[in-house]
Amino acid sequence: MRIKTKNETTNNNPIGIFDSGFGGLTVMSAINETLPLENLIYFGDTAHVPYGSKSKNIVIRYSKEITAFLIKYKVKLIVVACNTASAFALPFLKKTLKMPVLGVIKPGSKAAVFASRNKKIGVIGTEGTINSRSYLREINKISRCRVYQQACPLLVPLIEEGLNDDKITDIVVKKYLEPLLDKRIDTLVLGCTHYPLLKHILKKNVGEKVVLIDSAKATAYEIRNTLYKRCLFANSRSKKFLRFYVSDNPDKFKTIGSRFFSKKILNVKKIEMAC
Ligand code: DGL
């Protein structure tokens, strides 16, 4: 009889992913590309979006209810695919849940430190993420860097309105980035799940020399490492599925969500939330 090596142990239970709405689909898309055999369940809290301007306690309350929902599907790992929820609720979820729980802030911070040469890093995100100073703390846990933060509350609505390529978005982006560029950052962390959709406009404004860090990809690599270490990879024999749940407006989710996921989303189920 042949003894199984670490990589041969498998677990076909799904990975649970959640966000305040559509943004986490950029993370789900990166996970799906990096780990094509994994079954994925996504929950978008469209009844409560945006989280970026809400208080810590309320975001923790929503996150608790969503993770309880995901656990019913026997998820093997939970991804907090929202920067604001990672900033506010991740420590609580890590303490209270039995399975591994990963957020997007640590992987993004690691990637930023790795990319920066002059150790001057800019971070853009929602008010909640920026005020929590979570990126600043994570980055400085890894290496001493100068971290310059900028809340960009207008970007989420502009992206959701589909104005990614609009002149108005270009003007707003310029205004937000000016103070960071004045500090001569060489790395910019996209600390909000929506911002990968603005990569081209951001790149145009920061110039070739500034590296953009997309937390979605960094998070997908971190998940791959965790699955490897814990022998939790799915195998090719399971019938792959991607499922989508929301707390409100499934039709809107299909339309807007497909832009974030870069693939058509066909089936979305609405779930009643208690809070
Ligand atoms: N998903 C949120 C984040 O990454 C942005 C949208 C919101 O404010 O809920 O912070």
The single residue of 145, 152, 192, 231 carrying the catalytic annotation is 192
Q: Rounded to an integer, what distance in angstroms lies between the CA atom of residue 173 and that of residue 176?
A: 5
- CB under 8 Å to 175, separation ≥6 — which residues? none
> What is this structure's pTM?
0.94
**Tokens standing for residue 197:** 């959709």
pLDDT value of position 269: 98
Name the active-site residue from 82, 152, 231, 275: 82
Ligand 1 centroid–CA 172 distance in Å is 18
- 126 and 208 belong to one structural domain: yes
- Letter for the amino acid at 47? A
Distance of alpha carbon 173 from alpha carbon 169, whole angstroms: 6
Does 73 lie in the same domain as 141? no
What is the per-residue pLDDT across 76-121, written as a single tens digit (0 to 9) for each? Answer: 999 999 999 999 999 999 999 999 999 999 999 999 999 999 999 9
Tens of pLDDT, residues 138-193: 999 999 999 999 999 999 999 999 999 999 999 999 999 999 999 999 999 999 99
Same structural domain for residues 51 and 180?
A: no
Mapped onto helix, strand or coil, the DSSP state of residue 43 is strand
Domain boundary among 174, 191, 216: 216
Pick the atom of ligand 1 nearest to 20's CA: 9
**117 and 151 housed in the same domain:** yes
Q: How far apart are CA 239 and CA 168, in angstroms?
A: 45
Confidence of residue 129 (pLDDT cuts 50, 70, 90): very high
pLDDT in tens, 259-272: 999 999 999 999 99
Q: How far is the CA of 118 from the centre of ligand 1 (A)?
A: 29
- CA 248, 250, 251, 253 torsion: positive or negative? positive
Range of the domain at 162: 105-216
Residue 82 annotated among the catalytic residues of the structure:
yes
Total number of domains constituting the chain: 2
Q: Flag whether 182 is in a domain.
A: yes
Can you tell me which residue has the tokens 């093997």?
76
Q: Which of 200, 216, 232 is the last residue of a domain?
A: 216
Q: What is the CATH number of the domain that holds 77?
A: 3.40.50.1860
Cα of 23 from ligand 1 centre, angstroms = 6
Comparing CA positions, the residue from 52, 84, 78, 54 lying closest to residue 66 is: 78
Question: Beta-carbon neighbour count of residue 243 at 10 Å?
Answer: 15
Mean pLDDT over the full length of the chain:
95
Q: How many Cα atoms sit within 13 Å of 238 on the Cβ side?
A: 16
Cβ < 6 Å from ligand 1: which residues?
19-21, 23, 49-52, 82-84, 126, 129, 156, 192-194
Q: What does the alpha-carbon distance between residue 18 and residue 264 come to, in Å, rounded to a whole number?
A: 19
Active site residue 231: no
Residue 243 pLDDT more than 70?
Answer: yes
